[in-house]
Amino acid sequence: MLTDGALRMLVLLHFHLMGLGAIQIAYLFVLYEIAGVITNLLSGWIASKFGLASILYAGLLVQVGVILTLSNFSDVSTDIIYMAQLMLLQGLSGIAKDLVKTSAKSSIKLLSSDNSSKLFKWVTLLTGSKNAIKGFGFFVGATSLGLFSFKGILFCLAFLLFITLVITFPKVMFSLPKGKKNIKFNDIFSRNKNINILSFARIFLFGARDIWFVVAAPLYLYSIGSEVLFETRLSNFLFVGSFMALWVILYGFVQALAPIVLKNYQKNYEHLSTAAFKWGLYAIPLPLILSCLLYFNSNLDTAVIISTILGLFVFGFIFAINSSLHSYLILAFSSKDKVAMDVGFYYSSNALGRLVGTLLSGILYQTGGVSLCLFCTSIFLIFSCFSIKKLTK
């Protein structure tokens, strides 16, 4: 997760500085998210057939290869072949990340007890720590670009990832469950109504976040940093990297604390389904308020900038609780014999939401700025929230 977060910031900021616009940068991540949709669908079937360890280490190896290859793209060009190659590398990176994620999330269900409260705690702990580490990766990626060369940073990331692979392989490879040969390919599509509802809600939940987060937020922060706040490029990188990192770290930290925040709802999944709807409602107004604040105060006023940043952190708290509830519910509704495929199907919806959000982030930011992005965030949250209402008991 650290390398995934660092890689996203490195690619985004490096190629923005090299002259690519918001929509072009969004295109760089399109294949990344398309690959996520397909990979999550297939990874559940592959894991069920060949074992969770197979997709875990396949993902790590692919990511090492992608990082080393990307080191040859330190310059920028708008040539269609060059852009296609960059998109392909991002797509392979998306495959690697989602193979590892499906393996990790599925392992919790298989290795934990059926106790609702304990499962919720394990889910939130893993998801929270994953996002906190990814947030630190955002900081590493952004700040290191102000200190070292693009190629040198990538070599360091590849080395760290390879060392992780070597250290964990003997312990993990033979401890995870093996595959089952009688798994059918058409089983990748869920027939569980609740899982389908959750998957639909997940599309809009993560689309809502990525509409403002993926392209719009870092470019907006970089613009206000360079125009109003800082004189040096390094200071601006620190500013952008610090916000992106702290937001994701806070997001992960709150996810890990979700069982404490939601202790009155942990009796069973029905109570947590109710909590998911309520916290979905809490998330809707804030992006709309921030959108209006920015729309009616288009000048780069310091008070508006501070209010916007603080508001996004508050939104991060609410969004983290929502995400934790969704992550728990998918495992609660999954059966142990199909958990990898159910999780894969669910996270393919997650990737589809991120794909839509990423595209809209670039297009809406270039069209109407962060204000328009945040307005659409609220619309997406409405769809997500009222989808959860349809979960059956």
Q: Which of 13, 257, 231 is nearest to 127 (CA)?
A: 257
Tokens of 243: 């916000």
Query: Percent helix, strand and coil across the chain, each rounded to 5?
Result: 85, 0, 15
pLDDT digits (tens, 9 = 90+) for 46-88: 666 666 777 777 888 888 888 888 877 766 566 677 777 777 8
The C-alpha atoms of residue 118 and residue 121 are separated, in whole angstroms, by 5
d(CA 197, CA 304): 38
* Rounded distance between C-alpha atoms, residue 284 and residue 81, angstroms: 41
Cα–Cα distance measured from residue 330 to residue 343, given in angstroms and rounded to the nearest whole number: 7
Model confidence, pTM: 0.76
Q: How many helices (H) and strands (E) does the chain have?
A: 14, 0
Residue 1 confidence (pLDDT): 65
* Res 143: pLDDT: 77
pLDDT tens per residue across span 329-378: 887 777 666 666 777 778 788 888 988 998 899 899 989 999 999 999 99
Q: Is there a contact between 346 and 202 (Cβ–Cβ < 8 Å)?
A: yes
β strands within the chain, DSSP E: none
pLDDT along the chain (393 residues), means of 10: 74 76 76 78 69 76 85 68 78 79 65 59 69 78 76 84 80 61 58 83 93 90 80 80 87 82 65 84 95 86 89 94 85 70 78 89 91 96 90 68
Among residues 34, 135, 132, 22, the alpha carbon closest in space to that of 373 is found at 22
CB 181 within 8 A of CB 367: no
Domains of the chain: 2-175+188-388 (1.20.1250.20)
168 Cβ neighbours under 8 A, 6+ residues apart: none
pLDDT at position 212 is 93
